[in-house]
Structure 1
Amino acid sequence: MSAPAASSQPSLEALIARLSKLHPKSIDLGLDRMHALLARLDHPERKLPPVIHVAGTNGKGSTIAFLRAILEAAGLRVHVFTSPHLVRLNECYRLGAVGGGKLVGDDELLAALEHCERVNAGDPATVFEIETAAAFCLFAAHPADVVLLEVGLGGRLDSTNVVETPLASVIAPISMDHTEFLGDNLTSIASEKAAIIRRKVPVIAAEQAPEAMAVIETQAGRMRAPLHAAGQQWHVGVERGRLVYQDDRGLLDLAAPKLFGRHQFDNAGLAIATLRAIDAFKLNIAAFEAGIVNAEWPARMQRLTSGALVSRGPQGSELWLDGGHNAEGGRVVAATLGDLEERVSRPLVVVAGMMGNKDANAFLANFAGLTRHIIAVPVPGRAGGMPPDRLADAARALGMRVETAASVEAALQRLATLAYEVPPRILITGSLYLAGPVLAANGTPPA
């Protein structure tokens, strides 16, 4: 595929701005509009290569990254639809090819979105519904062996939940998030996500809180769907720094994931369990090994080692980026930082920016035992961003030393003026909508 034409980006941005006027809400869960649009498009969702559908609260994207890397290592062509993007909308669409897929080019993406816009003919539709329909059109038009399809929000009423018979339904860890749409308790949220389970289609579930697992088990039983649950039908662990996976088919002893953090062993295990549960795939151990060590997923405990922002911080400091934004996401990042501290001790500074609908107290509480220094920043270009003063108040309530800055760049410049005996470890976190501008400003956007 040729490199995308830079001149098409303004056209894409103008189109998305136009599509955003089709519906007064950016999020309006429901499938009626989606079914109507897909019918007008002659049902591209029925012409897709076999689909693996992935829901959950945390770890969906990383699990898909492992799935893609393993399948591509086996020589298969893999289409991928994920959300949200970090820098460019193209990141949501990866077209499979022998030897590895590539992000869709600007012109082809623009054509697919415009086609959906024309067919929709001005009827109410959210931007995500149009974007999902465009993914189905693109994937139906290009041959591939498998589609990896990530749920956008929830599951039951998500725009992706129109595929009738996927190869597998995958449920990553479920936790509290998007309570205004999915319910204010874990049972309700799990019910929404477990609704992607299809009759007699294998369900592969990560380790869950008991109330979430109970919902998954009930729904799997109702749909007569074979359940492959972590800690029951399969197990993953760390032994001598290696990933050890075991199920009734045997044991895999693999190198550690390239993606950083103990939670990535769990995400890798979920990907392995999924592929071993699908009878259509006969993958050798070399594909699993290569996929685990080569999978990449930006803004998930990503170490930034070069770039414009790296040079602005204190000399010799470490700069890490993670898009975590809920309590559970904060917990796994804090655990990873604890592991880093055991290896090489450095003072920790957290530069945080969050969206206004997130629970800042629950997120920041994870870092209370690791740092007393928080710098609150705005999420650039987002009307729904949390004001830094409000985020700072949440940190102060946890006994942290807090200051605010106008931007991540300003925060790093401020830190560069401080005297450190040991250069600090700096974590930029709180939102994927913050992580995207950080990667763009650093000059290291996802490829």
Structure 2
Amino acid sequence: MSRPSDKVLERLFRLHPKKIDLSLDRMTDLLAKLGHPERHLPPVIHVAGTNGKGSTVAYLRAILEAAGLRVHVYNSPHLVRFAERIRLAGKLIDEDTLFQCLLDCEQVNGPTPITYFEITTAIAFKAFADCPADVVLLEVGLGGRLDATNVVDQPLSTVITPVSIDHEQFLGSDLGGIAQEKAGIAKAGVPLIIAPQSAPAQAAILNYADHVGAQVTDSDSWSVQATEDGFTYQDDQGALSLPHPALNGPHQIANAGLAIACLRHQDPFSLTAAHYATGIASANWPARLQDITGSRFGKMLPDGSALWLDGGHNPAAGQILADNFSDKDDRPLILICGMMASKDTTGFFAPLKPHVAKVYGITVVGEDSHSPDNIVAMADSLKIPATPAASAKAALEEIRATYGDTPVRVLICGSLYLAGQILVDTDLLPT
């Protein structure tokens, strides 16, 4: 069902360039016309990085909410509905508030050229400034230094998740250069919490942080260790024994640890061990190794099968998935993959090769994606058996026909846009 906000968003798509154009001039001009809402926010935690940004924000939010705090969140992109990008004091922005913010921003901007991400970020700032809360969690869209979110002069803290190569058409393919761009959110005198990084990324981040005078806390200052019942977090304040993270995959211990490090090294909120434990066990972030076995798609598979959904789309994400599926399991692993045309499909598949029995290539409907035949060709180049399919549903039907009653593991992957379509098809809308 169409909503009034949808019509305004459609106008923005038509009237303003959708293409990413990294600059802060347009953003600062629009915010000035709006009365500088970015200067009237609750304390801000600003998060950049390549992989793990959304998961880290999800843990931050869950921990803070476990302490009874009101948390604003800005994420991108959305999976199904635009409102997923903006969470006001714990709840997705309601239609009336979103519609009014859209109208206000559209009116003051007028015909001035601006990107879609810039104007939607301005909408988030306006909504955050108008609604009381205790903290804002602000996720960078792309890069950091010139990202539209990088207009808060004095955040409470800044965070950089693991940096790897992605969005080469905008950030280039030099890892040190990419890391330096992401480090651009660092501010003088503001804590900068850094996840474990490759040597080139670490050097670039530390160099930039030193240049601006940020207060660095890197991964030498804390550690995480998996245990039978969950994991242990350790820093100079002591140890926390924590449950298994709510999000699937061994990498989520590192994401949870980064969130804890951020809050432990800059804690005006008086958090307790119970707040950390409750938050870690209750975080929610769809399409990140999301178990959808119980959905109608999952029920198409043989008994004893498992079905996951993941929006990862770069080589680092492929490695994370490979690590998750490296444990011994007699059930064959099958990928149903749709991927945007700008993404490195071969690099994504390469770490997964030892674990995958077959790949089905599909289209991401309505997007500039690789064709199923292209995906098959890239899998074939790695000697991974592959075949095209008309859709995820068609691939699942073929898997059932091929394997009969033999249990299988199936991962639908390769794109957040595809993940959003699957969530719609399975009635698993984000809340």
Q: List aligned pairs for 1:20-419, cutoff 5 A.
A: 20-96=13-89, 101-230=90-219, 232-339=220-327, 342=328, 344-382=329-367, 384-419=368-403
Equivalent residue letter for 2:105: C
Greater shift, 177-186 or 216-225, is seen at: 216-225
Asked whether the equivalents of residues 155 and 192 of structure 1 are also in contact (C-alpha less than 8 Å), the reply is yes
Asked whether the equivalents of residues 314 and 417 of structure 1 are also in contact (C-alpha less than 8 Å), the reply is no
Structure 1 gap ranges (5+) = 1-6
- Per the alignment, residue 11 of structure 2 pairs with 18
- Per the alignment, residue 4 of structure 1 pairs with none
Greater shift, 218-227 or 176-185, is seen at: 218-227
In 2, the alpha carbon distance for the partners of 1:365 and 1:168 equals 36
In 2, the alpha carbon distance for the partners of 1:282 and 1:225 equals 23
In 2, the alpha carbon distance for the partners of 1:240 and 1:318 equals 22
Asked whether the equivalents of residues 314 and 347 of structure 2 are also in contact (C-alpha less than 8 Å), the reply is yes
In 1, the alpha carbon distance for the partners of 2:308 and 2:285 equals 14
In 2, the alpha carbon distance for the partners of 1:112 and 1:306 equals 37
Q: What's the secondary structure of 2:403's corresponding residue?
A: coil
Match of 1:436 among 415, 420, 423: 420
**Aligned-residue CA RMSD in angstroms?**
1.2
In 2, the alpha carbon distance for the partners of 1:419 and 1:361 equals 26
In 2, the alpha carbon distance for the partners of 1:211 and 1:260 equals 29
Equivalent residue letter for 1:438: I
In 2, the alpha carbon distance for the partners of 1:106 and 1:406 equals 35
Query: What is the deviation of 1:316?
Result: 3.8
Compared CA separation, residues 69 and 279, structure 1 to 2 (3 A): closer
The C-alpha deviation readout for 1:102-139, integer Å capped at 9, x for no partner, is 11112211211111001101110111111100000000
In 1, the alpha carbon distance for the partners of 2:63 and 2:202 equals 27
Asked whether the equivalents of residues 310 and 442 of structure 1 are also in contact (C-alpha less than 8 Å), the reply is no
Equivalent residue letter for 2:78: H
Equivalent residue letter for 1:378: T
In 2, the alpha carbon distance for the partners of 1:316 and 1:249 equals 44
TM normalised by structure 2 equals 0.98
Asked whether the equivalents of residues 22 and 126 of structure 1 are also in contact (C-alpha less than 8 Å), the reply is no
Query: What is the deviation of 1:279?
Result: 3.9
Q: What's the secondary structure of 2:253's corresponding residue?
A: helix
In 2, the alpha carbon distance for the partners of 1:156 and 1:292 equals 30
In 2, the alpha carbon distance for the partners of 1:279 and 1:415 equals 50
Q: What's the secondary structure of 2:111's corresponding residue?
A: coil
Q: What's the secondary structure of 1:366's corresponding residue?
A: helix
Asked whether the equivalents of residues 17 and 116 of structure 2 are also in contact (C-alpha less than 8 Å), the reply is no
Asked whether the equivalents of residues 51 and 148 of structure 1 are also in contact (C-alpha less than 8 Å), the reply is yes
Equivalent residue letter for 1:211: P
Query: What is the deviation of 1:296?
Result: 1.1
Query: What is the deviation of 1:281?
Result: 2.6
TM normalised by structure 1 equals 0.94
In 1, the alpha carbon distance for the partners of 2:213 and 2:145 equals 18
Query: What is the deviation of 1:20?
Result: 1.5
Q: What's the secondary structure of 2:326's corresponding residue?
A: helix
Asked whether the equivalents of residues 20 and 26 of structure 1 are also in contact (C-alpha less than 8 Å), the reply is no
Aligned length: 431
The C-alpha deviation readout for 1:253-292, integer Å capped at 9, x for no partner, is 1111111111000000000000011142321100001000
Asked whether the equivalents of residues 373 and 402 of structure 1 are also in contact (C-alpha less than 8 Å), the reply is yes
Asked whether the equivalents of residues 315 and 416 of structure 1 are also in contact (C-alpha less than 8 Å), the reply is no
Identity %: 50
Query: What is the deviation of 1:223?
Result: 2.0
Query: What is the deviation of 1:18?
Result: 1.1
Equivalent residue letter for 2:24: L
The C-alpha deviation readout for 1:410-436, integer Å capped at 9, x for no partner, is 111111211346311000000111100
Equivalent residue letter for 2:363: P
Asked whether the equivalents of residues 144 and 184 of structure 2 are also in contact (C-alpha less than 8 Å), the reply is yes
In 1, the alpha carbon distance for the partners of 2:121 and 2:321 equals 30
The C-alpha deviation readout for 1:276-324, integer Å capped at 9, x for no partner, is 1114232110000100011111100110132332233344421111111
Q: What's the secondary structure of 1:338's corresponding residue?
A: coil
Greater shift, 207-216 or 23-32, is seen at: 23-32
Q: What's the secondary structure of 1:195's corresponding residue?
A: helix
Equivalent residue letter for 2:322: A
Q: What's the secondary structure of 2:356's corresponding residue?
A: coil
In 2, the alpha carbon distance for the partners of 1:152 and 1:34 equals 13
In 1, the alpha carbon distance for the partners of 2:297 and 2:4 equals 29
* Structure 1 ranges of 4+ moved more than 4 A: none
Equivalent residue letter for 1:375: Y
Equivalent residue letter for 2:218: A
The C-alpha deviation readout for 1:313-355, integer Å capped at 9, x for no partner, is 344421111111000011111111123xx3x431111000000
Asked whether the equivalents of residues 302 and 406 of structure 2 are also in contact (C-alpha less than 8 Å), the reply is no
